[in-house]
């Protein structure tokens, strides 16, 4: 099979291992490179291993110098910062594929936004029994403080991050919706920058859609949802501070939009308006793009021990004097159990067939589903409904009998907390592995970012 | 015929070290509802800043102030004149017990009133105490049950000050069997909600000319939704139904939604806060 890959002498792809039962984004089943990867592959085939290692080092240095880092929270390490790993070999999404994805993502997020408005107003979707009301009311992210309140332009999910995978059937599936404070867009931008610097030739061989205008578009979206009657809104990015895992992104976005990066202690509330403390005195703030979770944004409304937020903020928001992005309470939909109802939600509000597929999901709160999950633990991935970033996930095929038993108990004790999905076979992509100094197939997913402003 | 009340609420805080910045939120203003109107009110503060008001998510007035500069004490005085109307007796408007249950057990009722049907952090009663709950028989009338529950709670608890605080839960009270008005109310709500009734916590003032317990500060009682009658007030602390001497400020799931004062301080050291309440009935006009 290796022979069928067109090699140029001592090619760096020469030991690429094509696995038959996986969907490879670059090569087809016979090992032939896909048409739209031909040009980039032939560029890479001209490189020697030494060239590639040099380029890789160059890219790493570029990331290090830009300070592009991330952190993973775990019990024994307190947010150790790491350089964001970057893969030199680009993933290509064809225009045709992208246009369908784009339509599907917009459709999905429009419906989600209408759903949010409904569950905080008339709750028709619950009364019509499309979504079980208990599912919404038992969510910790469903905020009573948002009931009956309408944010400017009826927009709740100004920024949403839809995660997609491609299964071995070659189709895209939505894995989850991130509707609270989705992060990661700064990596998209710096990856593209690094790609331009290291592999400029790729850009002359393809007609590539730009991403560099994201901060510009983000800013105009933010300005579009300013409170009624404010012409030149003052907008800020609110960060929990430099110890947050995504702090790099917060500062990057503020800087590239040309707006202030603030912490809770830089803001205060007076007479139902929010003010920022500046060297030149108080300045009124109209829009807050907050990267602080709902629980922490206002100690008078939510967690009283929070020092990351602004006391009194929710009152100003309810008075319509400040806009919060994303709206508080969007997490009620950013829940893996609600996820399973999104296709029904799309049909209900838009009377359209969903463009993007959902992964088959079993809801442990339903008796039949629970039974199936308990009996088929090895073949499933079980996830807590309210965690993000891969925390608390049970992987059936990698588990021991003992672990399965222990997890079964956990599910039985709190079925509402868990959903299960068949193990999806994520597509693979040629990836340069530093340790082996070869290209190897690696699983990939796709995080999209969708902006929604006021027309 | 109208009855008029003069209400004065004072909050006095003293700090060990000067406070640089603070933010206070008061829920002390009588609400405007069917039988009650606010004729006038006045607010005075010791630090001189203007107060501002907003409404919480349930529509009740919050008086807010941000005192800044350095201060070692803070005083707020709120005074108001309230008019109350006698409510006509609507007890006999309620449908049969069966119809009452059918209404409060319907999906739409649940969706519209879930806030008051779910146990909230301060009203949850744990499994091991479930046998203490006064059980509502589906065949019984909601008004009769509520009255029975009201006297049941009144009889099992003894009124004692300073044995509980604002974070005491119904679960604590069911064990200790003592407390003040908010503890009586939380236990009432916990038991009623365990039985599938919609009910809410109410904070307010009580006429000091009455013989009731709980007139010294702000008072608390419960409202139960009874089909045909609407939200109906019960005061388990005094084993009675709410009447013209009860002046409502706000309602919510439990004390946390109605707490009269909340604040955030930028300071160190100890601080003490006192409240003084005066409620006087005027001559009838």
- Measured CA to CA, the distance from residue B103 to residue B95 in angstroms comes to 10
The ipTM is: 0.92
CATH number of A231-325: 3.40.50.11290
- Measured CA to CA, the distance from residue B204 to residue A373 in angstroms comes to 51
Provide the residue-wise pLDDT of chain A in tens; the chain has 455 residues: 343 344 344 567 777 888 888 899 999 888 889 999 999 998 888 888 888 888 888 888 888 777 777 666 655 555 566 777 788 899 999 999 999 999 999 999 999 999 999 999 999 999 999 999 988 998 889 999 999 999 999 999 999 999 999 998 899 999 999 999 899 999 899 889 888 888 888 888 899 999 999 999 999 999 999 999 999 999 999 999 998 888 999 999 999 999 999 999 999 999 999 999 999 999 999 999 999 999 999 999 998 888 899 999 999 999 999 999 999 999 999 887 899 999 999 999 999 999 999 998 898 988 999 999 999 999 999 988 776 656 788 999 889 999 999 999 999 999 988 999 998 889 999 998 888 888 889 999 999 999 999 97
Q: Which CATH class is domain B91-257?
A: alpha beta
Mark which residues 71-110 of A lie under 8 Å from B by CB: none
Size of interface A-B (CB pairs under 8 A): 59
Q: How far is A181 from chain B (nearest CA, A)?
A: 23
Contacts of B55 in chain A (CB under 8 A): 318
Burial class (CB in 10 A: 0-12, 13-18, 19+), B8: middle
Q: Which CATH class is domain B2-85+259-281?
A: mainly beta
- Other CB atoms within 10 A of residue A77 CB: 9
Q: How far is A282 from chain B (nearest CA, A)?
A: 13
Contacts of A147 in chain B (CB under 8 A): 57
Q: How far is A111 from chain B (nearest CA, A)?
A: 21
- Measured CA to CA, the distance from residue A373 to residue A350 in angstroms comes to 32
DSSP at A121:
T
Contacts of A282 in chain B (CB under 8 A): none
Mark which residues 17-36 of B lie under 8 Å from A by CB: 21, 23, 25
Contact call for residues B83 and B3 (beta carbons, < 8 A): yes
**DSSP secondary structure, A31-65, as one string:** SPBPGGGHHHHHHHHTS-HHHHHHHHHHHHHHHHH
Fold match between domain A231-325 and domain A361-422: no
Is B132 within 8 Å of chain A by CB? no
Which residue shows structure tokens 């809770």? A264
Inter-chain residue contact B25 with A300, CB threshold 8 Å: yes
Task: Report CA torsion sign: B168, B240, B128, A407.
Answer: negative
Contacts of A312 in chain B (CB under 8 A): 23, 25, 64, 66
Contacts of A126 in chain B (CB under 8 A): 111
- Measured CA to CA, the distance from residue A25 to residue A439 in angstroms comes to 13
The runs of H, that is alpha helices, within A262-387 are 313-318, 336-339, 342-350, 367-375
Q: What is the pLDDT of residues B18-30, one digit of tens each?
A: 998 899 999 999 9
Is B166 within 8 Å of chain A by CB? no
- Measured CA to CA, the distance from residue A338 to residue A329 in angstroms comes to 14
- Measured CA to CA, the distance from residue B246 to residue B221 in angstroms comes to 9
The ranges of chain B annotated as CATH 3.10.620.30 are 91-257
Contacts of A315 in chain B (CB under 8 A): 25, 54, 56, 62, 64
Fold of the domain built from segment(s) A361-422:
Dna Ligase; domain 1 (3.30.1490)
Mark which residues 213-272 of B lie under 8 Å from A by CB: 253, 262-264
| Sequence ranges of the domains in chain A | 231-325, 361-422
- Measured CA to CA, the distance from residue A160 to residue A286 in angstroms comes to 21
């Amino acid at each position: 099979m290796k022979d069928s890959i067109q090699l140029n002498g001592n090619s760096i792809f020469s030991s690429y291992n094509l696995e038959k039962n996986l969907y490879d984004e670059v090569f087809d089943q016979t090992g032939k490179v896909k048409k739209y990867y031909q040009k980039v592959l032939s560029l890479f085939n001209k490189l020697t291993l030494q060239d590639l290692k040099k380029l890789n080092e160059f890219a790493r240095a570029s990331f290090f110098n830009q300070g592009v880092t991330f952190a993973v929270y775990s019990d024994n390490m307190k947010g150790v910062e790491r350089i964001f790993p970057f893969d030199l070999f680009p993933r290509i999404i064809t225009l045709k594929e992208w246009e369908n994805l784009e339509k599907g993502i917009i459709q999905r997020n429009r419906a989600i936004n209408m759903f949010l408005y409904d569950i905080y107003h008339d709750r028709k979707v619950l009364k019509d029994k499309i979504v079980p009301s208990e599912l919404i009311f038992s969510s910790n992210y469903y905020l009573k403080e948002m009931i009956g309140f309408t944010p400017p332009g009826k927009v709740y999910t100004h920024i949403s991050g839809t995660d997609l995978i491609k299964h071995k059937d070659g189709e895209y599936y939505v894995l989850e919706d991130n509707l609270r404070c989705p992060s990661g867009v700064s990596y998209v931008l710096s990856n593209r920058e690094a790609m331009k610097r290291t592999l400029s030739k790729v850009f002359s061989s393809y007609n590539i859609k730009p991403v560099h205008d994201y901060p510009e578009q983000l800013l105009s979206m933010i300005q579009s949802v300013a409170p009624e009657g404010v012409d030149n809104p003052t907008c800020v990015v609110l960060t929990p501070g430099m110890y947050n895992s995504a702090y790099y992104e917060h500062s990057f976005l503020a800087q590239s939009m040309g707006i202030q990066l603030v912490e809770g202690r830089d803001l205060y509330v007076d007479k139902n308006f929010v003010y920022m403390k500046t060297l030149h005195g108080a300045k009124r703030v109209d829009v807050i793009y907050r990267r602080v979770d709902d629980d922490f944004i206002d100690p008078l409304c939510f967690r009283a021990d929070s020092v990351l937020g602004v006391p009194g903020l929710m009152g100003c928001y309810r008075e319509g004097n400040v806009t919060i992005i994303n709206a508080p309470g969007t997490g009620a939909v950013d829940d893996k159990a609600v996820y399973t109802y999104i296709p029904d939600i799309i049909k209900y509000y838009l009377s359209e067939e969903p463009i993007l597929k959902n992964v088959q999901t079993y809801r442990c709160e339903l008796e039949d589903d629970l039974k199936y999950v308990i009996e088929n633990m090895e073949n499933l991935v079980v996830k807590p409904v309210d965690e993000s970033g891969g925390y608390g996930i049970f992987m059936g095929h990698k588990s021991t009998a003992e672990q399965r038993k222990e997890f079964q108990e956990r599910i039985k004790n709190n079925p509402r907390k868990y959903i299960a999905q068949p193990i999806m076979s994520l597509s693979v992509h040629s990836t340069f592995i530093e340790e082996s100094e070869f290209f190897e197939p690696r699983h990939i997913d796709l995080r999209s970012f969708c902006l929604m402003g006021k027309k | 015929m109208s009855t008029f009340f003069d209400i004065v609420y004072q909050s006095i805080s003293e700090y060990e070290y000067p406070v640089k910045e603070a933010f206070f939120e008061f829920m002390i203003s009588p609400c405007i509802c069917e039988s009650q109107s606010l004729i006038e009110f006045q607010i005075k503060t010791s630090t001189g800043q203007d107060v501002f008001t907003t409404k919480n998510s349930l529509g009740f007035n919050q008086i807010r102030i941000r005192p800044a500069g350095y201060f070692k004490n803070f005083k707020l005085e709120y005074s108001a004149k309230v008019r109350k109307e006698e409510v006509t007796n609507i007890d006999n408007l309620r449908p049969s017990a069966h119809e009452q249950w059918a209404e409060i057990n319907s999906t739409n009722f649940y969706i519209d009133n879930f806030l008051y049907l779910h146990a909230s952090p301060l009203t949850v009663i744990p499994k091991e105490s479930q046998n203490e709950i006064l059980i509502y028989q589906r065949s019984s009338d909601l008004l009769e049950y509520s009255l029975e529950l009201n006297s049941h709670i009144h009889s099992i608890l003894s009124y004692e000050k300073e044995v509980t605080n604002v974070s005491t839960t119904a679960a604590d009270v069911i064990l200790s069997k003592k407390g003040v008005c908010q503890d009586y109310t939380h236990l009432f709500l916990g038991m009623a909600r365990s039985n599938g009734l919609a009910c809410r916590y109410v904070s307010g003032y009580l006429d000091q000319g009455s013989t009731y317990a709980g007139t010294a500060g702000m008072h608390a009682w419960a409202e139960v939704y009874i089909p045909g009658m609407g939200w109906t007030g019960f005061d388990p602390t005094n084993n009675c139904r709410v009447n013209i001497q009860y002046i409502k400020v706000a309602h919510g799931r439990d004390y946390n939604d109605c707490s009269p004062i909340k604040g955030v301080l930028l300071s160190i050291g100890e601080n003490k806060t006192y409240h003084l309440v005066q409620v006087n009935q005027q001559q009838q006009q």
